[in-house]
Amino acid sequence: MAPTSTAHSVAPAPLLPDSLNGVAVVAKFFRALADLTWLRLREFLLHDEHTVTECVAHIGLSRGRVSTDLSYLALCGYMQVRSGRHSFYAVADLRVADLTSTSAPKLASPWPLQGRSPRLNEKRHSRCSVFE
């Protein structure tokens, strides 16, 4: 007779919160991570703090747009702000950078569905232009 296991299986921890509001917060978190301008700002501000003017020079967008984006990122907790005569912005939580750097090599590899179906590839390219 084969031995039977007496250990109870443990259910995996849920990936998402129970409430719809909690799921919406998670979706906003990842949407903010995916924005091209915000990615570039986070990369620029990762190792040193900079002013809005320095960010504008680096990103190449209007001062109003960069200022609004930085304010939003600070409000969401992605950036910390040191105020004085000028406001200096820096990445608030290095775990966000870790998440980005962990994902980047995976995204650079060939897409798993590539070559399987022209229709799937067309759908993927229309929705995921990051892979082009």
Highest mean pLDDT among 49-58, 77-86, 99-108, 119-128: 49-58
What is the total count of domains within the chain?
2
- CATH number, domain with residue 85: 1.10.10.10
* SS3 label, residue 88: strand
What are 91's two structure tokens?
């990445």
- The boundaries of the domain holding residue 110 are 93-132
Indicate if 27 and 37 belong to the same structural domain: yes
* SS3 label, residue 82: strand
Indicate if 65 and 109 belong to the same structural domain: no
Check residue 125 and give its pLDDT: 47
Contact 63, 53 (CB under 8 A): yes
* Phi, psi torsion values for 99, nearest 5 degrees: -60, -45
Check residue 31 and give its pLDDT: 81
pLDDT single digits (tens) 13-56 = 877 788 888 888 888 878 877 888 988 998 899 889 999 999 99
Contact 93, 46 (CB under 8 A): no
Indicate if 121 and 67 belong to the same structural domain: no
Res. 117: pLDDT tops 80 = no
Indicate if 100 and 79 belong to the same structural domain: no
Indicate if 79 and 105 belong to the same structural domain: no
Indicate if 99 and 122 belong to the same structural domain: yes
Q: Which pTM value belongs to this model? A: 0.63
Neighbours of 18 (CB within 10 A): 8
Indicate if 86 and 37 belong to the same structural domain: yes
pLDDT single digits (tens) 54-92 = 999 999 999 999 999 999 888 888 899 999 999 999 999
